Every structure is written in structure tokens, then in C-alpha cells.
Structure 1
Amino acid sequence: MIVGAGPRATGLLERIAANAPELYSGAGLDIHLVDPHPPGAGRVWRAAQSPLLWMNSHAEDVTMFTDETVEMAGPVREGPTLHEWAGLDGRVFADRRIQGDYLRWVYDRAVAGLPPGVTVHHHPRRALRVGGPPGGRQQVWLESRPRPLLADLVVLAVGHLDAELDAEQARLAAYAREHGLVHLPPDYTADSDLTALKPGEPVLVRGFGLAFVDLMVLLTEGRGGRYEGDVYLPSGREPVLYVGSRRGVPYHSKIGYDWTGERPPLPRFFGPAEVGELLARPEGFDFRRDVWPLVEKELGFAHYHRLFTAHPERTALAWRDFEEKYAAGDAADRETLVASAVPDPGDRLDLAALDHPLDGVRYGSHEEFQEGLREYIEGDLGRRHDARYSADLAVFLGLLSVYGQLIRLGSVGPWWHGFFSYLASGPPGPRLRQMLALSRAGLLRFVGAGMTVAAEDGVFRASSPTVPGFSAEARALVEARLPEPTVGRARDTLLRELHADGAAETPDGLLRVDPGDGRILDRDGRPHPRRFALGPYTDGRAPGAFTRPRTGGPAFRQNDATARAVLAFLRDLTRPSDAGGQEFRVPGERAAPHEPTGRVSASSGRERPNPQGFFDQHMEGSST
């Protein structure tokens, strides 16, 4: 059974179809998909949402298909990108409903590509819990269904999680109820009820990433406003948004030019050998102390390789000499080298300054800051659409390479994912131009970095050290970000009870999985033989379920490994033994009562553990 039917589950189905001819030749296989949303598109890419909401990638940079750059054991099955399939201009930012149509087509193609005898069943319901012993069939209880489905294996591919409120959000929500205020906690913006945000009234918004962009669109164009060039013409139904965040600036614009010439040879300083050395350390590793210096060196190498090979007139040293010294030096040596070999500071990579552009910056008034941040956004747009700064695109490629390696390390803490998203997964350039137009129209006001929100005097009040002495107050507060993927606080009962039954959680709340094949780990580090998990709520989280072509696609690699593990397990489960032709069972497995014969099922369920814990649960229930 696969719980979830969105792009990650679709990618797994595609890999099952690709690998089945090699690994599975059983008489039959039933694959059960459980998701209340349509297969392929799932929740995020469903058709029932505003056409104003775009993807944040060019159509030519979106694919669901593998190529020779993906490191995997299974066969490559190439297919069209979004723009090739839809007949779109490759530079277009398609709306999410078009992406949903593409994902449904990929799903249908994957199902059609399954071998004869393999059948897919979609259950448009929520999965509530999963149980069963590691040595027997699994059970999955579904909403509005009294008896569980049985499965030999379960794969969780549930995507982004809704979460119960943390302590701060619960306090703010209680204050809002007590004083008649509006508090919208972290959520997927397209699912939020925005009707309580009234025209003309101030709204505090904490979060300046992609969730904010969606909020901005739905509260402006979504309420009848429109753009004429760089001018916004309001409908009169818009609230006034006061936005701030930890950094105080929006995510960097998507890069608006194409790659030409030689790519940096990645990985160079942070690859499989370095990851292997980190994993082999008996004392473990610390991200900031042991991993980040390697990442920083790798990203710098990508940046300077491009600068020296594509723009040599802006350097003062031959690339070969620079590369030799860069490779041999420590961080201080590299800083000295760059200062002497790269004359223009604007051509140097300063990751700390990129991450905290407003650190130590102070403005004398709120209005001065509005002008200052508009200049910052205009500068970002100019640079990210100018091929003279193509070293920025090389850093993007470096970030993708690094992410692919970090997945092998498991959880490295929440900071990295936010940093990656800020630099590499920002909004389309046109969205930043819309921000500028809304700012000039007075409907978007910037608060600053390190934004804090106080609940006092019957209102919410926001302030930032960027503008000393300024504060904005409002009767509405929106937390413009997705909920943290914390398994222990997941609103999804399936994951919460799985965690309660002994599935391991990282310190930052992610479900621990085996980095090799995605099997769920218990708190002693033991992999469950029949339960797998893929997606952003695990410590094997990848940049996305789909990716830019020819960039290695870490999610594709994971999907392939999980598909092969699933098929090999099911193959061995039904393989006759040497003695008497009996059905093969994994060590310790007990036959389930009323178990059907003749077909293997990839479906599931859950029940309370006995005192012996996570991997010794008592099996009961009926088959389907």
C-alpha cells in the first residue's frame, strides 16, 4: 500500500514500473493508493485551486522522469518535461493546475507501464493508522471503513504535514479568541480561509517566502486588483500587509537566463567520499563544525569555477593557479586568495552576507526602510536576470549537488533546508516586480529582519531592530509558512500514532528512515522490514518530488531505491522454498489469519503495540 497519491507516490509508481521486469515475476500484485485527493496531482497540485497560483519554476525546469545523471540501480525511463508535454514556452511559470494535469498524465503513464497482473486501486479516503507485526501482513485503517486493508508492505508518501499548534502559536491563538482578533497559523496558503482579512485593514504577516507570495496574490489579484506594467490598480478590497521575517527580505528571485558553456565538475570537495568519512566517525558529526565547512568550500568552488572560466576578465589570476591554491588552503587562506584574485567584491561569494543581508543595518524611519528594501529587491532582480553574474547559477547547481549528498547523512537540522530554499527555490521574477508595485501603492509595507510579534493591549504588534522605534499594530496576524514537519505534532493520526508506537524522530521532529531504501527506523535504529517512508517529513527529505532535468534528481534516486527494495521483498515473499514448495516468509513471520492466496498486496493498517514494543505487535483483523 502507498499512503499518498501525489507526485512522490507517482514517482515511486514510475520506478516500480521501470524495475518490475527485472525484479518481480510473481503471479499478481495489487497496489493500493490511499489519498482523498486525485492521484498524480495530490493536494498541492489539485485542479480545485486559484489559477492565479503559479509554480515557482520555469516549465522547462520541471520533470518527473529520470535521465543518466540520476545515480540509481534501475533503468532510465526518459519522458517529457512540463513544457514539452504541455506545449508551453519553456520560460513560462505555469499555473499549478497545469502542473496537476501533467502529474496526472505521468501517473496514468506509470500505471499503464506496469507489467500484466499488476493492478492499482485508488481509495479516496484518509489513512488513519497502520499496524501489524514486522513478520506479518500490515493493516491500514481508512476513514469511514470499519475493517482494515491488509498489505505485505506499506510506503508512506504523505507529502507536507498539517501540524498541531506549538506553544507559541497556541498562545497567540488563545489571545486572538479572547480579544476577537484574527490569527491564521502556519498552513498551506491555498487552504487558508482568508475571508476574515478585511479590506483596508492592516494585517501583520510573519514569513517572506513562497507562502507569503501566495498570500499576496490571493489578497490582491485574487480580490480583483490588476497590474498595468509596473503599476498596481487596486480594487479597494485589499488589506494592507505588513510583512517581516527572520531575514527581513524575500527569497531570492528565480534566475532568468540559461546556462551556457562548461558546468563546474561537481561534486569536488563534498561528495560520496567525504560523506562516507563523516558517517564512519564513531563520535558522529556536527553540521556546523564538520559539514558546513565542506559545503561552503564546495559552493565557493562552483562559484569561482564559473567566474574564472566564463568571465576571466574580472579575475587577476589564471584559473589553474587559483584552483590549486583554493583546494589546498583552509578558510582563512581561501579568503586571502579570493581578495587578491577577484578585484570586485560583487564577484566574491559571501554566504554569510547572503543569508543575513540586513544584519547590523539600521534605518532612521519606516519610510526610509521601504525605499531601501525596494532598492534591494530591484538589485536582486537585476542580478538574477543578468548573465554577467552567471556564477550565481553555478552556485545554484552547487546547492543541488550538496543537497544530494546531505540526504545521505540523514537529518542535519532545519537551518540547511531554509537556507537552500531562500537561495535556490525563490519566487519567479515577476512576483518580485509585483511586490515592488504593491509597495509603491502602499498595500505592502516591510517591517524588517528579526521581526517579533507581541500580543498586548488587545492587538498584535510587530517590530524589528531594522527600524528602531517603529512598530505596526493590527487585529490580524498571518503566519505565512508551512507547518514544521514535526511527526510528534502531526495532525495526521497515522504518523502521530506511528511515532507513539516507537518510530524514531530526529531532534528537529523528522521521521527517521534508512538512507539506503527509506525503511522506517525504530528508536534503536532498526529498520522495519515492511514499512517505508518518503518525503519532506523524513530525515531523507529531498529538494522536491520533481526537479530540473539533468541535475541528478535526489528524489528520483530515493524512489528507485525504495521501489527496488519493495519489489525484491515481494519477490522473495512469494518465491517457493527448496523444501516442499511452501511460500517463503521472512524470518519470524507468522501467517495472518484469513490471509488470501494467489496475489501479493502492497497495502496496509495499524494497531496498538503489546508491551514488547514497536517490532513485536500482535496481528489481528481480516483481509480484503
Structure 2
Amino acid sequence: MNNVSVVIVGMGQRGLTLLERLQAVLSERELEVGIDLHLIDPSTPGQGIHEWTQPEHLLVNTIAAQVTMYCDESVTDSGPILPGSSLLEWALEQGYKKLDGRYVISDVGEPIDENTYLPRAVMGKYLTWVYDRLIEGLPDYVTVFNHRRDAVSIVPLDNDRIEVQLDGGFRIDADYVFMTMGHSLGGKDSFDRKFDELVNNGKSGNSHLAYFRMPYPITALNSISSQAKVAICGTGLTATDAISALTLGVGGKFEKISSTRYQYIPCGREPKIIVFSRQGLPAGGRAVNQKGTYGQYKAKFFTRDFVDLSRQNNLRERGNEQMDFDRDLWPTLKKEMAYVYSSSLKGEFADPATYQVEPEIAAAIDSLMVPVANLTFADQEDYREYVRQHLEADIADCFGGNVNNPRKAASDILRDIRDNIRHAVDYGRLTPESHRRFLSYWCSISNRVASGPPKERNMEMAALIDAGVVSFFGPKPDIGYDEACCRFTLSTDRFAEPVAEKFDVLIRAKVDLFEPESSPAPLIRNMLAAGVIKPFRNGDFKPSGIDVDGAVNVIDRNGKVIRNLWALGYVVEGAHFYTYVLPRPYSNSRGLQDAGRAVVTMVRDIAQRSEVDQPLDYAAV
């Protein structure tokens, strides 16, 4: 039979996991047919958002020891294990050290260790090293075609094949296709369109007026004048990137004046920065890791069995398996956090069978999650002093560690048991109303508490506040526009007297959701028009992403599962929860699982087809 044609659209981190699984599976199962492997991505293979050309002040938000592109014994039902280096192991093998504030290959300098937060540019070099190693390790009967273009159409044909068209008209007649496209799919929403229009109409009256729907590529912020006043909407990881670009990125420096404190040395090119969000607080920093390289907390209460039982109870009592997060799940998740908090406080784990949440511990968890819920502030200065003290307390907590400090220990388990949360949320397992609230309210709190930046970023934030470069506006502000002076406005009535400020530049520092119907990507527009894909829906709620089944096969407009078309990662954020994270060693990483199972299925199909030399009957799979 003719060679089998396999296409991977998107060769960032998710595409790389597919390539890794393909090499691993083929290392143990030699096929009787050749494979033409088409890799489609206009960017450097493997890197995705971790481009090696980006500034070194942008850091990976995970310690080096907790990033890998290779499966290990913990990853189940995903094919054989292919030995390979984690990010830390690779960086040590290459000889990376910290020298004069930069990470370089050198014989001298400060050694890196398992808890080092490496630059994303270095991560990009690791990803490309993995890519090169995987390509070299493929068997001889695999021929690789590297297409540095975008795909603009993917259409199943009547003969169970799939036509993939590239920008410029080149077509590939494929047997199997994997979609792993990334953040370039996101489009503008009504907020973006409104502020774009305000800028277009007002920039003739204010040369500094600008709106950034996201701060990436980070070099786009180079156009901001030091004379502009900048407001950043958001206080999480994206906001810290923007702040870093407008301070370190323009020539400012931080000097360490104690083990927990920095001083900022301005260069004079920094704009004034004001930060705001609904919660009005900076994200909590990542604590010193005390769990070792592979240590993870294992849930005692919020287990998969608990989630399954909750679904069964809902089916029995309400006639529907869908759960309400606040009613069915949060009390037990809160108990899990309280258990860890209490155990950390006492220095030993209590017996889960008899553990009861003490009222003071429950109050501590409530304060951790929503610290300003019952606070009032006399004025903006009172609020800003609170934020500064909150930062100092958070930095101290970070140095206490993610085991010994009760607040950080309780926060960190939200990362450790994220797969259990996924089990409760994925594929519309919450009611539409609860799903909407979970994403808009609970996730923003969880991200602030558990998925913040390295503690050094919060030390930098405190130094920037002290230097008068950064300030916080206040919780739940309103954003407006003053036509008379062509400037944006922030206002709030959360203080005793209303407060308002004007500014020139608005940066929207948020996770860019992929809403298929508003995506500017020709590929998505064409696939929607042809009915090949449809937005994922949970009742009347469309969280984001496209619809897939449990095997990550694409579901078309008519509800048909396309057995030889898979979608993984950001493109299915909605059906899946929190697809942004990198694979973690010895954690049975969801991303590696999905890739492995899809590749195992494909290789099994290829083997069957080559044995009988006829098209596979997908209805029988």
C-alpha cells in the first residue's frame, strides 16, 4: 500500500508531545508501511510561545525540575517510555549558569538547581533540542516534511481521508490529522473592539493614546512613551510580564538589599504604571519548593471517587449528573485545603478518617481565598498601604515554603490536585450556570492564590511600589474615557470618597480565550463554515474552544465524531480545563496522556490497515 500520510498542525509544545509519543510507540512497533509526516507551523519547530528570541526577563513560571517533554512511568495507557531529559537535566547537561543576571552556558557563575525559574528563551532552546532529538530518532520509514506555513483548511473527504490546505494553496491528502494550534487563534471581543475604536478616534488628540488587547509579542510595548501613564488590567502572570517589559525591559535594574528585599534603580525611561483588577490584589508568589523534584500532595477528600460519587448523587436526586461547584464541590475542596493548612500549622498530618475542619481554620481559608471581602478602606492611600503590607506578608509566606507555611501549603495543593478538578469540570460536568461562575469567579481566585509568579516577581513589585513606578488603583474599578482630553479613566466608589484617575495606555493582561466564532484565523473560519468543527457548548454556555469527545477526536457540526482527526491543548480549552500548563515529571500529566492515547490509537489503526491493505472501518473502532 502507499505511504500513510500524518499531519500535525501546530508544532509548539503540544505538537512536540505528539512527536515524542510517535517516536516512542514506533520504537517498539515497526510498521509494514512508510509514513509521510507533515509538520505544519510557520515558527521555529517546538517552541510555540517559548520563542528563543524573546527577552530574558520573561521567565517560565514553573521551576526547572517540574518541566519535561518526555513521558515517564507515571503516565498511564500512553505507550512505551522513551528516556529523555527534563528541562533541568538538559540545562545542567548544557552547562547553564547564572552570570551577571543572565543564564548562559559557562564554566563560571551561579549554578542552577531544581528550583530555578529559567527564562522562556532558554525553555525555547530546550524545546527545539527535544524536537531535533526526536526527529533524529524516528525510524527510516518515516519521512518528515517541515512546512513553515499556516494551515488554512482541514476538510474530511468521502474516502475517510482529510485534505489539509496550506497558505499559498499547497494541499496534503492525509490519513490522520492532529490539531494543536496555540494562542494565535484568539480573536477580539466586544471590549477589544470598543477600545480600539476609542483609540482610533482619539489618537489625533493624544499621541500617547494606545490600547493593547494583550502584551504579546512583548516587544510591542516598546512603542509606549515614558511620558505616558499606563494602566494594566490584571494582576497575574501576564501583568507581571508587562510590568517587567516596562521596567527591566527598558533598562531598569533591581539590586538585592536583603534576602527578602530588592531596591529598584530606575533608568528614566519607565512610564508610570497603575495596576487594577476585580480582586485588586497582586497574585500570590510561588513559595520555596519543599516537596523535592517530584513531590506532590495526594488528595484525601477531593478525589476522583468523590467526584464520581457527587455525579451519581446528582443523577439520583436531581435527574442530572451535572454538578454545582459551590454546592457539590467547593465544601470538600475547602476541607482539603483546611486539612493541609491545619497539618502544616501543627507540623504533622492529621488522620483523614477523623479530621474535622476547625472554625478558625475555615476562616483562614476564606481569608486566603478572598482577603478583602469584609475589609473597608478610608481612602486610596489606606488601600495602597494594605496592598503593600499584603505583598510583604506574601513574600514572607513564600520564604516559609510550600510545606511549612500553612497558607502556601494550602494554596499549592490546588496545583497538585488539578487533575481531580479537571475530572470534575471537563466535558461540561458542571451545570451551565455553575460552569460560567467557575471560570469567571473561582478560577480568577485560584489563579491568584496558586498560580502566581516566582516570589522574586513579588519582591520586584514591592520595590517598584517603593520607587513610585507602580501603584494599585483599587478593587472593582470602572473603566471609562474622557473625550475632552482623549484619555482613559479609572473610577471607584469603594472608598469613603469616590476616586478617579486618567491614563493614556491600557494593557489588557489576561489569558486570551479562543472563541471559535470570533477567531481571525482562516483555518478556524473555514472549518466552522464547512461544519468540520463546532464550538464546545455546555447547554447555553460556550466556555471556549471546539468540541471533542473523550478520546480528543473532533466532533463536527452534525455531532459526528471524526475518528482520524484529533485536537489537543489550547484549541479545546473549554471541553478541557487548564490546558496551558507544561508537562510535569512523575505526575501522569494530562497533556502527555492525551497525546499518547491518540498516537497509540493511530499506530494501531495503521498496523491494521497495512495488514489488510484496505481502508479502516472507523465505525468498528
| SS of structure 2 residue aligned to 1:454 | strand
Q: Distance in 2 between matches of 1:474 and 1:485?
A: 29
Query: Which consecutive residues of structure 2, in runs of 5 or more, have no partner in the other structure?
Result: 1-6, 93-111, 257-261, 429-434
**What's 1:81 paired with?**
86
| 1:293 is the counterpart of 2:328 | yes
Please show how residues 123-272 of structure 1 align to structure 2 within 5 Å: 123-133=147-157, 135-144=159-168, 146-180=169-203, 182-191=209-218, 193-229=220-256, 230-259=262-291, 264-266=297-299, 268-271=301-304
Cα distance in 2 for residues equivalent to 1:558 and 1:481 = 26
Structure 1 portions without partners, runs of 5+: 327-333, 340-344, 577-581, 590-624
Instruction: Single out whichever of 474-483 and 254-263 deviates more from structure 2.
Output: 254-263
User: For the Cα contact (< 8 Å) 1:47–1:97, is it kept in 2?
Assistant: yes
Distance 1:80 1:423, change over 3 A: farther
Partners of 2:411 and 2:275 lie apart in 1 by 28
Distance 1:263 1:118, change over 3 A: closer
5 Å matches for 1:322-361?
323-326=352-355, 337-339=357-359, 345=360, 348=362, 352-361=366-375
TM-score by length of 1: 0.82
Q: 1:485 aligns with which of 514, 518, 528?
A: 514
Distance 1:223 1:109 in 2: 36
Q: Secondary structure at the match of 1:164?
A: coil
Distance 1:381 1:475 in 2: 31
Q: Distance in 2 between matches of 1:512 and 1:244?
A: 31
Q: Does 1:527 align with 2:561?
A: yes
- Separation in 2, partners of 1:497, 1:291: 39
- Contact 1:462 1:472 (C-alpha < 8 Å) held by counterparts: yes
Alignment partner of 1:274: what SS? Answer: helix
Q: Give, in angstroms, the shift of residue 103 of structure 1.
A: 0.8
| C-alpha distance 354-566 of structure 1, shift in aligned 2 (>3 A) | farther
What SS does structure 2 have at the residue aligned with 1:446? strand
Matches of 1:276 and 1:536, distance apart in 2: 29
Cα distance change, pair 10–441 in 1 and its aligned pair in 2 (3 A):
same
Given that 2:180 and 2:570 are in contact with CA atoms closer than 8 Å, whether structure 1 keeps it comes out as no
Relative distance call for 1:472 and 1:11 in structure 2 (3 A) is: same
Q: Does 1:62 align with 2:67?
A: yes
> Could you say which residue in structure 1 is the equivalent of 2:488?
460
Cα gap change, 1:284/1:23 in structure 2, threshold over 3 Å: closer, same or farther? farther
CA distance in 1, matches of 2:161, 2:333: 45
Q: 1:135 to 1:509 in 2, by over 3 A?
A: farther
Equivalent position amino acid for 2:534 in 1: A
Amino acid at match of 1:427: P
CA distance in 2, matches of 1:138, 1:17: 23
Q: Find out whether 1:571 has 2:577 as its counterpart.
A: no
2:395, 2:549 → 1: CA distance?
Answer: 38
SS of residue in 2 equivalent to 1:517: coil
Q: 2:534 aligns with which of 504, 521, 525?
A: 504
Structure 1 equivalent of residue 44 of structure 2: 38
Amino acid at match of 1:370: R
CA distance in 2 between counterparts of 1:450 and 1:190 reads 28
Q: Which whole-Å CA distance do the structure 1 matches of 2:409 and 2:616 have between them?
A: 51
Aligned residues: 560
Contact 1:266–1:398, Cα closer than 8 Å, also in 2: no
SS of the residue aligned with 2:570?
A: coil
Tell me which amino acid in the other structure corresponds to 2:600. Answer: R
Work out the CA distance in 2 between the residues paired with 1:252 and 1:124.
39
Match of 2:15 among 6, 9, 12: 9
Change (3 A) 1:436 1:277: closer
Q: Quick one: distance in 2 between partners of 1:407 and 1:537?
A: 19
Task: Determine the structure 2 residue equivalent to 1:374.
Answer: 388
The CA deviation string for residues 428-487 of structure 1, in whole angstroms up to 9 with x for no partner, is 111111111111111101012213211233321012344451111112211112322211
Mean CA deviation greater in 438-447 or 508-517: 508-517
Q: Relative contact order (alpha carbons < 8 A, sep ≥ 6): 1 or 2 greater?
A: 1
**CA 1:528–1:351 in 2, change beyond 3 Å: closer, same or farther?**
farther
Contact 1:299 1:398 in 2 (8 A): no
Aligned counterparts of 1:134 and 1:540: Cα–Cα separation in 2: 30
SS class of match (1:537)? helix
Cα shift at 1:313: 6.1
Q: Distance in 2 between matches of 1:466 and 1:40?
A: 47
Name the residue aligned to 2:109.
none
Separation (CA, whole Å) in 2 of partners of 1:129 and 1:188: 29
Aligned AA (1:219): L
| In 1, Cα distance between equivalents of 2:417 and 2:242 | 31
148 and 276 in structure 1: CA distance in 2 versus 1, 3 angstrom threshold? farther
CA distance in 2 between counterparts of 1:70 and 1:303 reads 29
Q: Match of 2:217, as an amino acid?
A: A
Give the Cα separation in 2 of the matches to 1:143 and 1:178. Answer: 34
| Residue number in structure 1 paired with 2:350 | 319
For 1:29, the equivalent position in structure 2 comes to 35
Deviation string, structure 1 residues 61-102 (Cα, Å, up to 9, x no partner): 212222222233422334322121111322221111110111
1:218 positional shift: 0.9
**Is the contact made by 2:150 and 2:167 (CA closer than 8 Å) also made in structure 1?**
yes
Could you tell me how far 1:410 is from its partner in structure 2? Answer: 1.9
Indicate the larger mover: 251-260 or 414-423: 414-423
User: 1:593: which partner in 2?
Assistant: none
The offset of 1:23, in angstroms, is 5.6
Amino acid at match of 1:216: I
Q: Distance in 1 between matches of 2:566 and 2:459?
A: 43
Q: 1:283 to 1:169 in 2, by over 3 A?
A: farther
CA deviation vs aligned residue, 1:264-320 (integer Å, no higher than 9, x gap): 443643305734863894954445x25763354145325515743x55369xxx933
Aligned to 2:100: none
Q: Which residue of the partner structure matches residue 614 of structure 2? A: 583
Q: CA separation in 2, counterparts of 1:292 and 1:501?
A: 40
Distance 1:133 1:263, change over 3 A: closer
Q: Deviations over 1:360-386 (max 9, x none)?
A: 433222222222101101111111220
Secondary structure of 2:242's aligned partner: helix
Whole-angstrom CA distance in 2 between matches of 1:394 and 1:75: 35
Q: Indicate the larger mover: 394-403 or 78-87.
A: 394-403
| 2-structure distance, mates of 1:526, 1:295 | 35
Shift of the 574–565 alpha-carbon distance from structure 1 to 2, 3 Å rule, reads: same
Deviation at 1:135?
4.1
The amino acid across from 1:83 in the alignment is: L
CA displacement 1:531-571 (0-9 Å, x = unmatched)? 11111231224444523322221111111112122222333
Task: Find the partner of 2:141 among 113, 117, 123.
Answer: 117
Q: State the Cα deviation string for residues 414-440 of structure 1 (Å, max 9, x = none).
A: 345544433332111111111111111
Describe the superposition over 1:95-136 as per-residue Cα deviations: whole angstroms up to 9, x where unpaired: 111101111122122223323311222111111121132643
Partner residue in 2 for 1:616: none
Change (3 A) 1:196 1:105: closer
Give, in angstroms, the shift of residue 575 of structure 1: 3.2
